[in-house]
Amino acid sequence: MLSQTSTSPSDDSSSDFLDEVLPFTGESSQNKDNNEIIDYVEDCLKKDYDLQDLDELSKDLKSNDRLKQHHGAIGIRKIVTNSTFLLNIS
């Protein structure tokens, strides 16, 4: 089970998140795939997303490309998290 450390959008706990979500198996080809995913996810987590990106993110989420699916899911999650955070401070 993943633990939630903070609701602040400025909290960068991406390495903790990746450690829990992407376990390594020791097989070289799978490690290469895992490393590619980890690098891509880290790049996605560093980006800022807003509602203008929602159309592209929803298309990526529906894509057959695994990396695009990660991009869509992460972007939409960050938009929702930022929106929820902003609503809580108003």
Q: Is 37 helix (H, G, I), strand (E, B) or coil?
A: helix
1-8 average pLDDT score = 40
- For residues 37 and 70, the answer to whether their CB atoms sit within 8 Å is yes
Alpha helices in 1-90 (DSSP H): 14-21, 28-46, 54-62, 66-89
Q: Whole-prediction pTM value?
A: 0.62
pLDDT, one tens digit per residue, over 20-70 is: 555 554 555 677 788 888 999 999 999 999 999 999 999 999 999 999 999
Specify burial of residue 54 (Cβ count, 10 A radius: 0-12, 13-18, 19+).
Answer: middle
